[in-house]
Structure 1
Amino acid sequence: MGSLHFPTEQRKTIDIGDGLILRWSTKDDTENVGKLLGECFRWLPVGDPHPTDRIPGPNQFVIAAARRLLSGKSAVMSEHDYALVEDTKRSNGKNPIVACVSLHRVRAFYGSVDLSFGKPELIATDPEYRNKGLIRKLLFELVHPESDARGDVLQLIPGIAHFYRQFGYEYGLLVRPNAKIESTSVVPTLAKGKSEPYILRVANKDDLPFLNRLSTPANMHLNATVGTHYSPEYWRYTIHDVFEIKQNRFDGDRDTRIIIDAASKKPVGFTVLSNGFFGAQLEAMALDEQEVSYVQTWHSVLRQLFDITKERQALIIKEREAALASDKEPSDEGIKEAEPESTASPSGPIVSIVAATSGNTSVPTEKDEKKEAPFQLAYSLHKRHPLSLLLGQSLKRKPSYEQGFRVYTRILSYSAFIKKVAPELEKRLANSALAGVNGRLQLDFYRKVEGSSGKGLEVIFKDGKIEDAKDWAKPSPEKLFEERLAWEKEGEAPLIFSAGFMPLTFTPLVTGLRSLTELNEAYGDVLIRDESTRLLLNILFPKGDHHIDVFYW
């Protein structure tokens, strides 16, 4: 795929009148972007707990995130990838940056096909400038054209409920842990006088080749039809670069440990703990299964991960005490990180976000502080991951009716997307009852809407291969009649598969978030002409699981 972050010819500065310009960022914008975001996200329940007797100050967690994103070290964007609205006439010391949208890029996969996703993120508008369409202008004039031009076949946004539908987004991907571990007793304690057979040590740059080799979707048991990769950019940033630019306790979300065989001293796997938006969470575990098995390692690994998690929770309490004792804006003065108490955590990164762990956004009382925090580790490994199977009923899962955290998805051109993922779709066809099919799949979306390049889609199949995919509009009855006569004259009338989808509802089918049956039942205007069409759509677009890990920036 080459470099993830490069400017295209779409880059431009646009004068939209009244002293407002749309432009892309430089490092010099870091302070002003951080100020805007800190003000706009002051009520976001991450960072220090909110005071109960006054309006919270600027969100220091978000300010730190802006600094990292514009540092030139980020794994997801360069310092030139924040789309900004600047008020060139604003004076009196006020912030000239009045709206912003960062554009991330992540490596991803759709089945067997590697691709890239664009991700608008940390979006904000100064309250004085709201309801002027500035976010619309940033998305449509800068962000979407840039993302489309560099080859991102899909954009995703985790954002305000309903808001981003107006910009052509539909819920299409799922992210969020669906389980948690609430007790350390799920594994036996280490026998007295015994030492751990496997040791967790903090990852470093020398581990990058090992991590890159081991972190394939198959080896990590992601069990996902759509997902994001743990890419070379991800590993370098999370285990090294973020700590080079670390300025305060809100930097450094990921804690990656290498699993070492104590006997041979060889690396045999890795774990990833995060402590960001969703609190302490096990993000990943993978082993070199040619060397060791999960049944050999899981007790030892979990014992040490539990120790690390407890240390994080102890640090959270310490940070809360510091926040409660201070009447000024949150800072790192006088705050020291908790010293590790176990050999499982040698000098490694221990960072926390206070409110996100407990879900409590208010400052705790002195009485509350004396209580020991209950143990809890969120768990995001797939239900068929070997560790999940070994834990069994020890994992506390959410009820099935709780959908989890869904993110908006934009696929501007279904035809371009189909062409990009054609190898995966052809593989699904080859392993089905429709192997070698010839014909045309014609989908009517009824009308062209924001976020879609056409009123419909036609996919042409020849000998089980996708010969072409293009925007299509349902012809008039007269035109259909003429086409039928022409085909009969040639003696080669194609097999037509036909269906209708309400605008943008094709997206959750393509991504596997919803099955065809679910969409058919939910929308009266999702119409399937016949059982042959239903069979083809079910083969091409089965419901599947997602692995979307994008909150490490």
Structure 2
Amino acid sequence: MDAIARLEGGLLLRRGTAADAEAIAAFNAFVHSPPDRPDPAIAAWPRELLTRPHPTFGEGGFLVVEDPARGADDRIVSSLNLIPQTWTYGGVPFGVGQVELVGTHPEYRRRGLIRVQMEEVHRWSAGLGHPVQIILGISNFYRQFGYEQGLTVAGSRSGYRHAIPSLRPGAAEPFRLRPATPGDAEFLAEVEAPARARSLLSVPRDAALWRHELAGPADDHITRRRIFIVEAAPSAPGATGAPGATLPAGDRAGYVVTSRSCAPTLTVTAYDLVPGLSWLAVTPSVLRGLRELGDAYVARSPEETGQRFDRLRFELGLDHPVYHTVPGLLSMIARQGLQYVRVQDVASFVRHVAPVLERRLGHSVAVGHTGSLRLSFYRDGLLLRFDGGRLSGAEPCLHHAPVAEAGPIGASFPDLTFLQLLFGSRSLEELEHSFGDCRVRSDDAQALLTALFPKQPSLIWPIS
């Protein structure tokens, strides 16, 4: 038993193991599902993390709190896990600890069990060299553990099935979708790599990670994604191809990823093409291929019985080429939400992403800047120093540090709101509008902050 601590009331905090797979799966299905209706799709996630080979989870793991006074099959009363991964910020890689499947049995809530586990999992993450932790969760709850809703999530454009364009009479379908195979892993990695430039934050997938995605998880898994290759189709005799469809039959043009569907909507979570191919030429075929997938959908629950596919959603963030390819079809817009992020040492992270900040500065009105920028977070803060356009220093700076030592405060950000600026989810102007105590105190600070931290979309597909 990997015991970590004895807790009040005879409870035990320990690390979960593969032997706990069924117990942890049943617990999560219980606490994350409607009463009396445990969701097998939720149970599948922890079960597979603990029993199926995973490229990064072995470095993380589950925490469980158990009550030895309960039955042998019902001892787990609280749990969470850590999924390590590598993301990039403007192309600069950094480690991330994704905290997931956080839950406590209703009878054991308000006893500080999540706090104890969060402290422990933060130690795990720090030990693995992660400067950042993330979590999707209850509104406002995770602020008490040092998190801020600073990362963009989701954001989509949708359209109706009946608006998908039909193939012209006498024309052959120039492109088609087929399920991806492990043999496509290198191609998927090659096409995904340049597409990351559209996103400030991204989760790079090499061929090994794509093979992991292709190998599973099970169809009933809540995070299940289906991956399809877009390839040039053979033309029927006498048929005409679409403009720009010049690939030989069978050549790969791109890929599409769909999430676990719920009628009546089919959701696309990734769509990219080989650089140089026309989105106008390929997308109509992709839309018709997705329509076929939606039409083949089989209801998973009694609530879905009788429902038919009638809506297609591209959940591709704030901006994506497909939005500009078929703007009339994808006319229903859902704005991006926010998810939680924690950065224990902001100064260290800023130093780590200095190449991105220096590149931005070099394309701004502050090119070649020498000087300092002091930011206050009302208790502590951050002091940035620049020399000839290079970030020469980034150190913590107390709010009450003497002006003679640290210089005047250039801007103030309440609580952890600076993380929204750092991760591109809000512009400086938006933060000033939303928070009365977010204040920019000089023209130089305004120019520098605008140049260093512009609003920039991110599309994040974490490793799960």
Q: TM-score, normalised by structure 1?
A: 0.75
Deviation per CA, 1:350-380: give whole Å up to 9, x if none.
xxxxxxxxxxxxx36xxxx55x525111112
1:382–1:188 Cα change, 3 Å: farther
TM-superposed CA distance for 1:522, in Å, is 2.2
Paired residue type of 1:26: T
Q: Secondary structure at the residue paired with 2:57?
A: coil
Which moves more between the two structures, 205-214 or 295-304?
295-304
1:528 aligns with 2:440: yes
2:43 matched residue in structure 1:
63
Could you tell me how far apart the structure 2 residues matched to 1:223 and 1:525 are?
32
The answer on whether the counterparts of 1:227 and 1:547 sit within 8 Å (CA) in structure 2 is: yes
SS for the counterpart of 2:215 is helix
Which residue number corresponds to residue 255 of structure 2? 270
Go from structure 1 to structure 2 and tell me whether the alpha carbon gap of 1:164 and 1:548 turns closer, same or farther (over 3 Å shift): same
Residues 3, 12 of structure 2: 8 Å contact kept: no
Please show how residues 131-150 of structure 1 align to structure 2 within 5 Å.
131-140=110-119, 142-150=120-128
SS at match of 1:78: helix
1:165 corresponds to 2:143: yes
Q: In structure 2, the residue corresponding to 1:393 is in which secondary structure?
A: coil
State the match for 1:127 in structure 2.
106
> If the length of structure 2 is used for normalisation, what is the TM-score?
0.89
Q: Deviations over 1:429-474 (max 9, x none)?
A: 1111212212222112122xxxxxxx11112211211112121113
d(CA) in 2 for partners of 1:413, 1:277:
40
Structure 2 counterpart of 1:517: 429
Alpha-carbon shift at residue 277 of structure 1 (Å): 8.0
CA distance in 2, matches of 1:432, 1:212: 33
**Deviations, residues 13-55 of structure 1 (Å, cap 9, x unaligned):** 2233443232222111111111211111122xxxxxxxxxxx5
Q: Which amino acid aligns with 1:458?
A: L
How far the C-alpha of 1:211 sits from its partner, in A, is 0.9
- Residue in structure 2 matched with residue 227 of structure 1 by the alignment: 202
1:475-514 Cα offsets, whole Å, 9 max, x none, are 45xx435x4xxxxxxxxxx976622211211111111111
- 1:283 correspondence with 2:262: no
The answer to whether structure 1 residue 29 and structure 2 residue 6 are counterparts is: no
CA distance in 1, matches of 2:59, 2:85: 16
Q: Is 1:200–2:172 an aligned residue pair? A: no
Q: Does 1:309 align with 2:294?
A: yes
Structure 1 equivalent of residue 92 of structure 2: 113
Partner residue in 2 for 1:256: 227
1:39-118 map, 5 Å: 39-43=30-34, 55-75=35-55, 77-78=57-58, 81-87=61-67, 89-93=68-72, 95-118=74-97
**Alpha-carbon distance between aligned partners in 2 of 1:190 and 1:82, rounded to the nearest angstrom:** 54
Find the residue that maps to 1:547 and give its secondary structure. Answer: coil
1:397 to 309, 325, 332: 332
Distance 1:27 1:182 in 2: 44
Following superposition, the deviation at residue 130 of structure 1 comes to: 1.0
Change in 2 beyond 3 A, CA 1:497/1:139: same
Please state how far the C-alpha of 1:239 moved relative to its aligned partner. Answer: 1.0
Return the alpha-carbon distance in structure 2 between the equivalents of residues 91 and 121 of structure 1: 25
Give 1:281's aligned amino acid. Answer: T
- 1:499 matched to 2:411? The reply is yes
Go from structure 1 to structure 2 and tell me whether the alpha carbon gap of 1:527 and 1:386 turns closer, same or farther (over 3 Å shift). closer
The gaps in structure 2 that reach 5 residues or longer are 234-247
Q: 1:393 to 1:275 in 2, by over 3 A?
A: same
Which secondary structure state, in structure 2, belongs to the residue aligned with residue 90 of structure 1?
Answer: coil
Alpha-carbon distance in structure 1 between the residues aligned to 2:164 and 2:353? 41
Match of 2:403 among 458, 466, 480: 480
CA distance in 2, matches of 1:182, 1:306: 10
In 1, Cα distance between equivalents of 2:294 and 2:86: 29
Letter of the 1:446 counterpart = Y
Corresponding letter in the other structure for 2:229:
I
Return 5+ residue gaps in structure 1 as ranges. 1-10, 44-54, 325-362, 448-454, 484-493
* 1:289 Cα deviation from its structure 2 partner: 2.9
Separation in 1 of the partners of 2:114 and 2:314? 34
> Identity over the aligned pairs, expressed in percent?
29
Distance (whole Å) between structure 2 residues aligned to residue 166 and residue 252 of structure 1: 27
| Contact 1:224–1:546 (8 Å) recurs in 2 | yes
